Amino acid sequence: MKAISVKEASCLKGTIAIQGSKNTVLPIIAATILTSGISVIYNCPDIIDVHVMCELLNCLNIRTCYKEHTLTIDTNDAAYNSLPYELTGRLRSSVLMLGAMLARWGRAEIGMPGGCTIGTRPIDIHLEGFSKMNVDIEEYGDCLRCKTFYMQGCDFVLRYPSVGATENLLLAACGAKGRTVLRGAAKEPEIIELCNYLVSLGILIDGIGTDVLVIKGTGCIGCSDYVNVYDRIVAGTYLLMSCGIPADIRLTGIDEIHYIRNVLRVCAGLGLNVVRLEHYLHIQSSGIVCPGDFATGIYPEFPTDLLPMLITVLTKAMGESSVTETVFENRFAVVSELRRLGARVNVNGNRVYIDGNDKLTGHTVKATDLRQGAAMVTAGLMASGYTTITDTSFIQRGYEDIVGDLKGVGAVLEYI
Ligand code: UD1
């Protein structure tokens, strides 16, 4: 496990190019299992989760070649195989192999998914939906065995708009006989991108962008290339970071501002000035943070992934703030680590209270998951002296080069 040493930053100035989206590209990679031929994915981020997903495809005799943000996937010789827990347990999106493999082969035997430890993260909604499609499911140890002789389209109500379950059921529905209706589906941008990609493969989907998706499976699925969108959470990371540190930054690569409107609204309330220009967002801040009461929520509300960043920045606010988490039950690992840096932060139920007016002091803290890790880097930039963040391989699961990005805007930090 690597560590990062971060020096307090007096200001951030320069340009950051926002990488391609992790949470969009992983389901698209899973979707290529449905195809026969060669697909090219452009703007694919160079992150651990993408490479593990490729290893999973390789287990199915699908060839992958990653070069300079372009991922080529050749499914011509795809062949059924089981997927070991040693790989599936390394990321959450491995669970999407289930839907895609069921659609292609009518069976899937895979290890349980992993991912960030931010709650129990059950997959009961995914499995309920598969059962409704006539899939037999057996759990044994760390593995799942799913099988169907005839996958049947169905009318299924998701009791919570789970992003992963919506993606998994969309993928499975592509191989089901007849029509599948998903009610109460998630509406996140990642779902819209996946639907559009599936449509480009020849699948018929109605209701894209709404919470009722109607999918008409087809036996004949073509190939299609995909240009990945920017990562709205990485963009949000740098936007929030710029609230807590005096900044004059250009963010490039943000073509569709719509996806981050919720984050921009919160950042404006915190004191960030954002101007949209033709090829970039120009963001400026004095580093003075206004307090407030915030809540995370399903899209288009403020994303849960950015909760650790928001709490970190609010330690500096000129007064008391609170943030309520409504999506995951345990996304508060950031709190204990911020306390090590001197922050006065408390958790009560699903709400975090931040006293504000704190000047953080450099210390050694731990990255415990992907987004909390990015928040720790931010805390290090805000804290006096030097901060060491350990276990930073969590961060590399989703941020291509956080150290390089921040060096590019004048921050002093390095891997040690
Ligand atoms: C995805 C994102 C993650 C983001 C989250 C919510 C990926 C790889 N990850 O995670 O970054 O924070 O969406 O936007 O895309 N739930 C159940 N049963 C289920 C499935 C989910 O109870 O079968 C619950 C979860 O425990 C959680 C809530 O639903 O409390 C949301 O989970 P979900 O939307 O499924 O998130 P992920 O797809 O895991």
By residue range, what is the domain housing residue 107? 22-227
Sign of CA dihedral 176, 178, 182, 188: positive
Mean pLDDT of the chain: 95
Query: Is the pLDDT reported for residue 115 higher than 70?
Result: no
Two tokens, residue 28: 């698209």
pLDDT band for 255, please (50, 70, 90 cuts): confident
Tally the domains of the chain: 2
Rounded to two decimals, the pTM is: 0.97
Q: Taking a C-beta distance cutoff of 8 angstroms, is the pair 103, 174 a contact?
A: yes
Domain end point (choices 180, 203, 227) = 227
CA 133 to ligand 1 centroid distance, Å: 21
Mean pLDDT, to the nearest integer, of 246-265? Answer: 95
Q: Is the CB of 126 under 6 A from ligand 1?
A: yes
Residue after which a domain boundary falls, among 190, 212, 227: 227
Same domain, 248 and 143: no
Q: Is the pLDDT of residue 259 over 60?
A: yes
Mean pLDDT over residues 89-112, rounded?
95
35 Cβ below 6 A of ligand 1: no
Q: Are residues 193 and 85 in the same domain?
A: yes
Using the atom order of ligand 1, give the atom closest to the CA of residue 305.
12
Question: Looking at ligand 1, which atom is closest to the CA of residue 167?
Answer: 38
* 116 is known as an active-site residue: yes
221 in the same domain as 250 = no
Residue nearest to atom 11 of ligand 1 (CA): 305
Joined together, the tokens standing for residue 370 give 């992907």
Task: Please determine, for residue 117, whether its predicted confidence score (pLDDT) is greater than 80.
Answer: no
Q: Are residues 11 and 73 in the same domain?
A: no
The answer on pLDDT for 300 being more than 60 is yes
Catalytic position from the list 11, 54, 59, 116: 116
Q: What is the pLDDT of residue 330?
A: 78
Judge if the beta carbon of residue 23 lies within 6 A of ligand 1.
yes
What is the pLDDT at residue 298?
96
Q: Does one domain contain both 128 and 38?
A: yes
Q: Ligand 1 atom 13: the closest Cα is on which residue?
A: 163
Confirm or reject: Cβ of 328 under 6 Å from ligand 1.
yes
| Ligand 1 contacts CB of residue 9 (under 6 A) | no
Residue 332 Cβ contacting ligand 1 at under 6 Å: no
Cis status, amide bond into 300, omega within 30 of 0: yes
Atom of ligand 1 nearest to the CA of 163: 34
Which candidate, 269, 274, 306, 272, places its Cα nearest to that of 291?
269
Whether residues 269 and 370 share a domain: the answer is yes
| CATH assignment of the domain containing 397 | 3.65.10.10
Residue 311 above 70 pLDDT? Answer: yes
* Same domain, yes or no: 92 and 33: yes
Question: 166 and 262 share a domain?
Answer: no
3-state secondary structure 197-260: HHHHCCCEEECCCCCEEEEECCCCCCCCCEECCECHHHHHHHHHHHHHCCEEEEEECCCCHHHH
User: What tens digit of pLDDT does each residue of 36-90 get?
Assistant: 999 999 999 999 999 999 999 999 999 999 999 999 999 999 999 999 999 999 9
Q: Strand, helix or coil at 50?
A: helix
Q: Is the pLDDT of residue 220 over 90?
A: no
- Nearest one of 244, 285, 211 to 379, comparing CA atoms: 244
CA–centroid distance, 83 to ligand 1, in Å, is 22
| Whether pLDDT at 32 is above 60 | yes
Write down the H helix ranges in 2-146: 22-31, 48-59, 85-88, 96-105, 124-132
Among 195, 227, 259, the domain-final residue is 227
Q: What would the mean pLDDT of 9-28 be, rounded to a whole number?
A: 98
**319 CB less than 6 Å from ligand 1?**
no
- Same-domain status, 165 and 59: yes
Q: Assess whether 369 and 273 both reside in one domain.
A: yes
Residues 78 and 104 in one domain: yes
Residue 92 CA to ligand 1 centre (angstroms) = 9
Same domain, 210 and 288: no
Q: Name the residue with the closest Cα to ligand 1, atom 39.
A: 164
